[in-house]
Chains A and B, each alone.
Chain A
Amino acid sequence: MNQFVSPLRKPPAGHVRPKFLVFIALAFCVLAVSVAFFGVSAVTPYIGVVLALNDHGWTVQSVDSNGLAREAGIKEGDVPVAINGQPADVFLEKYEKAGIVFEVLIRELTVVNGEGQLKSVARENNPPSSRSVAEVAAWFITSLVFWAVGFYVLIKRPRNMAAMLLCLCGLTFGLALSGNMAAERLVPGALQLQVVAAVIGPWLLFHFFLILPEERAWLRKSRLVYLIYLPAAITLVLFPIMGYADGQPLPGFRTFRLLEYGAGFLAAAGAVLFNYLRAGSPRTRQQMKIVLISCLAAIIPFLVLSIFPATIQNIIPSGFNLLFIAFIPLGLGYAVVTTKLMDIDVLIRRSVVYGLITLVMAAILSAGIITVVVFQDTLGIPEEIAISIGLGGVATLLFGPTKRTIETLVDRLFYKDRYDYRQIIQSMSASLRSLNDCVDISRVIVGTTVHTLNLAGGCLFTKSQSGSFELSAGQGTFADPDKQGELATIISQGIEGIEFPNAASTACSDLAFLIPLIAGDKRVGILCLSQKASRQDFSSNDLYLLQGLASVGAMALHSAMLVRDVSMRDTFVSIASHELRTPLTAITGYAELLLRRDPPEATRRRWLQNIFDNSQKISKMVDDLLNVSRIQTGRTTIKLQRVKVSDVLDEVLSMVRESCDKSKYEFVVDIEPALPDVLVDRDKFGQVIGNLLDNAVKYSPNGGRITLSAHNDPERHRVVVSVADEGIGIGAEDKASLFTTFHRIQRPETQGIRGSGLGLYIAKEWTQAMGGEIWLESQLNKGSTFFVAVPTQTLQDGPKKELHVIGRACQ
């Protein structure tokens, strides 16, 4: 028993709760009592008869197969003559009202049987029968398994209520069994303890199943759940009052007791079935499956062995059937402790299929036998042989098709999510072949996976030009933007250790797998998959399919990305050269004109202004290109400092105001008073807001109101600055790629609006590097609002510090 002491000596992490110590102390007391009862029972013989009062007076009602009475030849219907050294009449007088005398009262018995022979039996000076010892040993072994499992789960999951309850169940089970046997052997107090244990036990089991599923963790703390012990409490209170008299339980109350714990067991079984059918998570379902299977493994052999005729029972060692009960604690313990559960579905499916095949084959063969029997008079032996061989042939020929038909039938009825994975991969690669857009490809990959495996949801993050993973398709429960945000956070934190084929549910409960899509040695995407909608577990076939889909998908994505990169390069060359060459044309052109001519003063000034403006444009474009290059090679330097928001906003706004047509635009400023200072790079923060204001002007060709606001968000320690316009707005199809390099909205309204397509990309990267966030809300043709949130403090609150942004290498 040494290993059980360890929780006392070496407490599990942290301090040992006093309640836990009390529990352990109590557990060991119960354990000690149970072991003592088993020990006494093993060496003490018992009579094993029940006497009952009927129309013929007192007779032997039943004789236990393992008792001394049976060995002595006492049988049902014998009439008692003397009991415990007293004449039977004298002894039985006070039990007439009860009408029954249980074995717990009988030490010595003499009976007369039908033939008039006297048989007598006494506990004193008699060794226990071998069958009795075997029975005690079998129950002891079963209890031992229960205890071992109970303490094992308690050590493995010291703070788990389910483990505690399972341990209690084991102790109660052992106490009930040992108490029952000790009571039969007239050990004082055993009967009472046995009743207490038997009355409480089933409700403990019910309690265990109620709180076992993870989704019912809330119930573990609730006090209401203890109401389930009410029937047990009532029974325990009533037992000494009206259930016990003259050293034995009263028969009427015994029935009540049986009903009480019958109800308890039914409730427990109901809880198992309910958990199974309404499982909130696949784990619960698997746990319940294991419980059900272990119960079947225990009860079926137990019943089968118990109903065998007595002759066969004599061959089997006594108590052998009891050993099967040990499957129950093993199953329960397994369900509590393990986190990965076996794939039982496949096993069940195979059993169903082969069972049905056997039935069909048996029907064919029976048809043959019946034919032979019916026509045996008219048929000669050669014909009978021919028919047998023919039917055998038919059965053999039919085996294949029958198996296939039955499999299809079973799949269609119970396993809607089974499939031929080669076909799926083939059809997916066929549909991917015609696509070369990353988003379309992502949709196909997610759609195929979710549909084939019947998943609740799935989404795909693909590698963007900047090297980060961005959402490209989502379906089902993972189409929800909040969920996608959560997944993006998980991915950004790195998926090492939880990626496929490991379960990713540690990171997020409804996430089953994070599958990196790898082409060559590049990770081109990450596929996030939820659990199955049916809550079934993934089979090994599913995992093969996922592997296949992932590699086909990765190749398609990779080639699409190469095409995209080449076309991006073209876009880059085209936009960059356009944005540099146009101002350059103006500069050289006006310089030429000025060199050649001598225009009037006003014209000269205008031309010089043109040269100056266009030089500014080139310088801005070169700056942008350098900034992008710095971002992509990880050389951006951020100098964080405390900055007054309104100062920066005023400065930027006055610059933008000056450069635009004041008659068209109305600028509204809404800056919350007493804003806390923000911790940003002053220049970069100013440029970010400047970019947004420039865009607001640029993309409101018809003018309108431009609102610059700043509000405090004290909960998240940040200030949110927003720039709202009443311009052309941004469509859903542009929102996703708006913050990427050289993305320019291609709409009739945007033709002729000049821009490098770099502003928002730089704004996003810088904002994130400063620990902030940028996002937008927009309605097509109504206007857009861009939000920039920047932190008001950092963890190490220093006055001014330099920060190197860890770069992402551009591929």
Chain B
Amino acid sequence: MAEHVNRKILIVEDEEAILELLSEIFKEIGDYTVLQARDGEEALRVAWAARPDVILLDIQLPKRNGYEVCKLIKSDSVMSHTKVLLISGTPPNLVWPKAREMGADGYIAKPFSSIMLVEKVEELLTGS
């Protein structure tokens, strides 16, 4: 598990309650550095500056939506290895085709349990 230590996770969510919840979940595990962003542009700025290993990205965001952020990150030569996990309340069949097109690595539908979410993130990180 040593390699897992100090992985950076960027959580992008405009709803304060959900942002705090997600942050708490990953802080609780201990080996994640949690970064936060509340809109699409902030997400890009933080991602550029901090180079997170994984981004938890809500789709409905102010300024730039999740799809756009995902596309920009995945099309960037330096950032393209960053795992992007999209989160949305919209049913997967309406989201996943577009998400995949934008290069997202995974999609998790609300509501989710914290265990499920953490498992999904771990899976993404170790699978690479």
A404 at the interface (CB under 8 A from B): no
> Using Cβ atoms and an 8 Å threshold, which residues of chain A touch B109?
581
Roughly how many angstroms separate A357 CA and B36 CA in the complex, as a whole number?
88
Roughly how many angstroms separate A349 CA and B113 CA in the complex, as a whole number?
81
Give A752's nearest chain B residue, CB to CB. B62
Roughly how many angstroms separate A748 CA and B62 CA in the complex, as a whole number?
8
Do residues A586 and B17 form an inter-chain contact, with CB atoms below 8 A?
Answer: yes
A313 at the interface (CB under 8 A from B): no
B30 at the interface (CB under 8 A from A): no
Roughly how many angstroms separate A695 CA and B86 CA in the complex, as a whole number?
28
Roughly how many angstroms separate A614 CA and B17 CA in the complex, as a whole number?
9
> Using Cβ atoms and an 8 Å threshold, which residues of chain A touch B89?
577-582, 585
B60 at the interface (CB under 8 A from A): yes
> Using Cβ atoms and an 8 Å threshold, which residues of chain B touch A586?
15, 17-18, 21
Roughly how many angstroms separate A752 CA and B25 CA in the complex, as a whole number?
23
Do residues B88 and A613 form an inter-chain contact, with CB atoms below 8 A?
Answer: no
**Contact A577 B114, CB 8 Å, known A752-B39, A752-B61:** no
Instruction: Give the shortest distance, in Å, between B116 (CB) and chain A (any CB).
Output: 11
Give A749's nearest chain B residue, CB to CB. B62
Q: Which of A127-135, A486-494, A588-596 contacts B (4 or more CB under 8 A)?
A: A588-596
Among A573, A585, A613, A753, the residue within 8 A (CB) of B110 is: A585
> Using Cβ atoms and an 8 Å threshold, which residues of chain A touch B14?
752
B24 at the interface (CB under 8 A from A): yes
Roughly how many angstroms separate A598 CA and B65 CA in the complex, as a whole number?
35
Roughly how many angstroms separate A613 CA and B17 CA in the complex, as a whole number?
9
Instruction: Give the shortest distance, in Å, between B36 (CB) and chain A (any CB).
Output: 15
Roughly how many angstroms separate A573 CA and B113 CA in the complex, as a whole number?
22
Roughly how many angstroms separate A588 CA and B113 CA in the complex, as a whole number?
7
Q: Main SS of chain A's interface residues?
A: helix
A215 at the interface (CB under 8 A from B): no
> Using Cβ atoms and an 8 Å threshold, which residues of chain A touch B65?
751-752
Of A573, A580, A586, A614, the most chain B CB neighbours within 10 A belong to A586
**Contact A582 B110, CB 8 Å, known A570-B94, A574-B90:** yes
Interface residues in B5-61 by Cβ distance below 8 A to A read 14-15, 17-18, 20-22, 24-25, 28, 39-40, 60-61
Do residues A578 and B88 form an inter-chain contact, with CB atoms below 8 A?
Answer: yes
Roughly how many angstroms separate A589 CA and B118 CA in the complex, as a whole number?
13
> Using Cβ atoms and an 8 Å threshold, which residues of chain B touch A570?
94
> Using Cβ atoms and an 8 Å threshold, which residues of chain B touch A584?
110-111
Roughly how many angstroms separate A753 CA and B62 CA in the complex, as a whole number?
7
Do residues B21 and A590 form an inter-chain contact, with CB atoms below 8 A?
Answer: yes
Do residues B111 and A585 form an inter-chain contact, with CB atoms below 8 A?
Answer: yes
Interface size, B (range): 20 to 34
Do residues A751 and B62 form an inter-chain contact, with CB atoms below 8 A?
Answer: yes
Give A750's nearest chain B residue, CB to CB. B62
A687 at the interface (CB under 8 A from B): no
B81 at the interface (CB under 8 A from A): no
A782 at the interface (CB under 8 A from B): no
Do residues B15 and A582 form an inter-chain contact, with CB atoms below 8 A?
Answer: yes
Do residues A748 and B63 form an inter-chain contact, with CB atoms below 8 A?
Answer: yes
Roughly how many angstroms separate A589 CA and B17 CA in the complex, as a whole number?
10
Do residues A751 and B114 form an inter-chain contact, with CB atoms below 8 A?
Answer: no
Instruction: Give the shortest distance, in Å, between A793 (CB) and chain B (any CB).
Output: 45
> Using Cβ atoms and an 8 Å threshold, which residues of chain B touch A582?
15, 18, 89, 110
Roughly how many angstroms separate A592 CA and B18 CA in the complex, as a whole number?
13
Roughly how many angstroms separate A578 CA and B18 CA in the complex, as a whole number?
13
B91 at the interface (CB under 8 A from A): yes
> Using Cβ atoms and an 8 Å threshold, which residues of chain B touch A664?
none
Do residues A751 and B60 form an inter-chain contact, with CB atoms below 8 A?
Answer: yes
Of A573, A582, A586, A610, the most chain B CB neighbours within 10 A belong to A582
Give A610's nearest chain B residue, CB to CB. B17
> Using Cβ atoms and an 8 Å threshold, which residues of chain B touch A585?
18, 21, 89, 110-112
A350 at the interface (CB under 8 A from B): no
Interface residues in B75-90 by Cβ distance below 8 A to A read 88-90
Roughly how many angstroms separate A587 CA and B17 CA in the complex, as a whole number?
9
Instruction: Give the shortest distance, in Å, between B37 (CB) and chain A (any CB).
Output: 12
> Using Cβ atoms and an 8 Å threshold, which residues of chain B touch A748?
63
Roughly how many angstroms separate A584 CA and B112 CA in the complex, as a whole number?
9
Do residues A578 and B17 form an inter-chain contact, with CB atoms below 8 A?
Answer: no
A754 at the interface (CB under 8 A from B): yes
Roughly how many angstroms separate A751 CA and B63 CA in the complex, as a whole number?
6
Instruction: Give the shortest distance, in Å, between B67 (CB) and chain A (any CB).
Output: 11
Give A597's nearest chain B residue, CB to CB. B28
> Using Cβ atoms and an 8 Å threshold, which residues of chain A touch B62?
751-753
Among B17, B21, B61, B94, the residue within 8 A (CB) of A573 is: B94
Do residues B63 and A752 form an inter-chain contact, with CB atoms below 8 A?
Answer: yes
Give A588's nearest chain B residue, CB to CB. B111
Instruction: Give the shortest distance, in Å, between A607 (CB) and chain B (any CB).
Output: 8
> Using Cβ atoms and an 8 Å threshold, which residues of chain A touch B24?
593
Instruction: Give the shortest distance, in Å, between B109 (CB) and chain A (any CB).
Output: 7
Do residues A581 and B63 form an inter-chain contact, with CB atoms below 8 A?
Answer: no
Instruction: Give the shortest distance, in Å, between B30 (CB) and chain A (any CB).
Output: 13
Give B64's nearest chain A residue, CB to CB. A751
Give B114's nearest chain A residue, CB to CB. A592
Instruction: Give the shortest distance, in Å, between A699 (CB) and chain B (any CB).
Output: 13
Instruction: Give the shortest distance, in Å, between A697 (CB) and chain B (any CB).
Output: 15
> Using Cβ atoms and an 8 Å threshold, which residues of chain A touch B88?
578
> Using Cβ atoms and an 8 Å threshold, which residues of chain A touch B40?
751
Roughly how many angstroms separate A582 CA and B22 CA in the complex, as a whole number?
12
- Per-position 1/0 for A313-337, Cβ under 8 A of B: 0000000000000000000000000
Roughly how many angstroms separate A586 CA and B20 CA in the complex, as a whole number?
9
Give B62's nearest chain A residue, CB to CB. A752
Instruction: Give the shortest distance, in Å, between A618 (CB) and chain B (any CB).
Output: 11
Interface residues in B103-128 by Cβ distance below 8 A to A read 109-114
Instruction: Give the shortest distance, in Å, between B72 (CB) and chain A (any CB).
Output: 15
> Using Cβ atoms and an 8 Å threshold, which residues of chain A touch B60?
578, 751-752, 754
Do residues B21 and A593 form an inter-chain contact, with CB atoms below 8 A?
Answer: yes
Do residues B94 and A574 form an inter-chain contact, with CB atoms below 8 A?
Answer: yes
Give A599's nearest chain B residue, CB to CB. B24
**Contact A574 B113, CB 8 Å, known A586-B18, A751-B60, A752-B39:** no
Roughly how many angstroms separate A573 CA and B89 CA in the complex, as a whole number?
10
Instruction: Give the shortest distance, in Å, between B45 (CB) and chain A (any CB).
Output: 16
Roughly how many angstroms separate A582 CA and B21 CA in the complex, as a whole number?
12
Give A573's nearest chain B residue, CB to CB. B91
Do residues B61 and A751 form an inter-chain contact, with CB atoms below 8 A?
Answer: yes
Do residues B110 and A581 form an inter-chain contact, with CB atoms below 8 A?
Answer: yes
Give A586's nearest chain B residue, CB to CB. B17
Roughly how many angstroms separate A712 CA and B128 CA in the complex, as a whole number?
69
Roughly how many angstroms separate A579 CA and B110 CA in the complex, as a whole number?
10
Among A578, A592, A753, the residue within 8 A (CB) of B90 is: A578
Instruction: Give the shortest distance, in Å, between B47 (CB) and chain A (any CB).
Output: 18
Of B18, B25, B39, B114, the most chain A CB neighbours within 10 A belong to B18
Of B15, B60, B61, B91, the most chain A CB neighbours within 10 A belong to B15
- Per-position 1/0 for B86-102, Cβ under 8 A of A: 00111100100000000
Instruction: Give the shortest distance, in Å, between A162 (CB) and chain B (any CB).
Output: 68
Roughly how many angstroms separate A586 CA and B110 CA in the complex, as a whole number?
9
26 interchain pairs (CB within 8 A)? A577-B90, A580-B89, A582-B15, A584-B110, A584-B111, A585-B21, A585-B110, A586-B17, A586-B21, A587-B111, A589-B25, A590-B17, A592-B113, A593-B21, A593-B28, A593-B114, A610-B21, A613-B17, A748-B63, A751-B60, A751-B61, A752-B61, A752-B62, A752-B63, A753-B62, A754-B15
Q: A578-B89, A585-B110, A613-B17 are in contact. List 11 more A-B contacts (CB 8 A).
A: A574-B90, A578-B90, A578-B110, A582-B15, A585-B18, A589-B114, A592-B114, A610-B21, A751-B64, A752-B39, A752-B60
Residues of B within 8 A of A (CB): 14-15, 17-18, 20-22, 24-25, 28, 39-40, 60-65, 88-91, 94, 109-114
The 8 closest A-B pairs by CB, nearest first: A752-B62, A581-B89, A578-B89, A581-B110, A585-B111, A585-B110, A589-B21, A610-B17
